[in-house]
């Protein structure tokens, strides 16, 4: 018998489904607006052979050293601004040290000194060494194995998988959480996995799309959705709950 109790369960389920569909549509729309306004981002920046610094551009293929540069960059960028990482990468490049064998051969103390501008340098030096041991172990490069490396959390693992190995894992960072929460699509305490799952469900699992969308969110957080947001000039203001609530 079709009881009232079941009707309520079904109704609730349908409401959740509708809400989820709306959020997925919003995720697509945000990408459309950001892409229209900011264009191609060319993430992750790496150093070309003839260059002295990492540059943003679309590359068909990465060299072995460029892939390694992304991996150590993903560790160095933990808890620091990218400009500090860039400074360090430029110095390592100047000393011709953007190479897994050369960094492996460096004593820990020397490596710590070289990466000092990125902060937490003693810990980060150990993390880079642990990562090199993993890369040299011959184990498969997958999310589970990366997460088992000392000092590697979901954001670092997904950045490595997406940008160094072209595997479609959406990278969630504080900027992504901030924008989506302010827009009213998630709670501010949403977990990493929950938010990543949302992006994975809303979008096709496409590596290039994931790379560029993440970069667009970072760009937006730096331009408008800052700690103190510049809502009046923001390109997402029509979509945003915070902005709407202020009107």
Binding site for ligand SF4 (CB under 6 A): 179, 182-183, 224-225, 229-231, 234, 236-237, 240, 242-243
Residue closer to ligand SF4 by CB (options 33, 62) is 33
Beta carbon of residue 26, minimum distance to ligand SF4 (angstroms, whole number): 12
- The shares of helix, strand and coil residues in the chain, as percent rounded to the nearest 5, are 65, 0, 35
Beta carbon of residue 226, minimum distance to ligand SF4 (angstroms, whole number): 7
For residues 214 and 172, give the distance between their C-alpha atoms in angstroms, rounded to a whole number.
8
Beta carbon of residue 63, minimum distance to ligand SF4 (angstroms, whole number): 37
Instruction: List, as one string, the DSSP characters of 170-207.
Output: ----HHHHHHHHHTTSS-TT--HHHHHHHHHHHS---H
Residue closer to ligand SF4 by CB (options 36, 96) is 36
Helices and strands per DSSP (H, E), number in the chain:
12, 2
Residue closer to ligand SF4 by CB (options 124, 182) is 182
Contacts of 117 (CB under 8 A, 6+ apart): 84, 87, 88
Residue closer to ligand SF4 by CB (options 33, 130) is 33
Beta carbon of residue 32, minimum distance to ligand SF4 (angstroms, whole number): 15
Residue closer to ligand SF4 by CB (options 163, 224) is 224
For residues 240 and 180, give the distance between their C-alpha atoms in angstroms, rounded to a whole number.
9
Residue closer to ligand SF4 by CB (options 124, 243) is 243
Which of left, alpha, beta for 182 (phi over 0: left; psi -120 to 50: alpha)? Answer: alpha
For residues 129 and 166, give the distance between their C-alpha atoms in angstroms, rounded to a whole number.
23
Beta carbon of residue 12, minimum distance to ligand SF4 (angstroms, whole number): 29
Beta strands in 80-238 (DSSP E): none
Beta carbon of residue 158, minimum distance to ligand SF4 (angstroms, whole number): 23
């Amino acid at each position: 018998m079709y009881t009232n109790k079941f009707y309520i369960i079904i109704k609730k389920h349908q409401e959740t489904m509708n809400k989820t569909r709306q959020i997925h549509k919003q995720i697509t729309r945000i990408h459309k607006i950001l892409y229209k306004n900011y264009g191609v981002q060319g993430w992750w920046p790496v150093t070309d052979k003839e260059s002295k610094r990492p540059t943003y551009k679309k590359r068909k293929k990465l060299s072995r050293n460029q892939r390694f540069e992304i991996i150590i960059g993903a560790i160095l960028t933990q808890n620091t601004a990218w400009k500090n990482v860039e400074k360090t990468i430029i110095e390592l490049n100047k000393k011709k040290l953007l190479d897994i064998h050369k960094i492996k051969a460096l004593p820990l103390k020397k490596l710590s000194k070289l990466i000092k501008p990125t902060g937490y340098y003693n810990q980060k030096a150990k993390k880079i060494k642990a990562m090199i041991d993993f890369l040299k172990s011959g184990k498969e490069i997958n999310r589970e194995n990366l997460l088992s490396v000392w000092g590697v959390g979901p954001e670092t693992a997904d950045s490595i998988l997406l940008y160094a190995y072209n595997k479609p894992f959406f990278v969630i960072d504080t900027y992504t959480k901030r924008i989506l929460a302010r827009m009213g699509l998630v709670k501010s305490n949403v977990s990493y996995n929950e938010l990543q799952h949302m992006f994975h469900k809303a979008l096709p699992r496409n590596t290039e799309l994931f790379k560029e969308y993440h970069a667009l969110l970072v760009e937006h957080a730096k331009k408008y959705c800052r700690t103190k947001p510049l809502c009046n000039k923001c390109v997402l203001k029509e979509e945003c709950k915070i902005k709407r609530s202020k009107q």
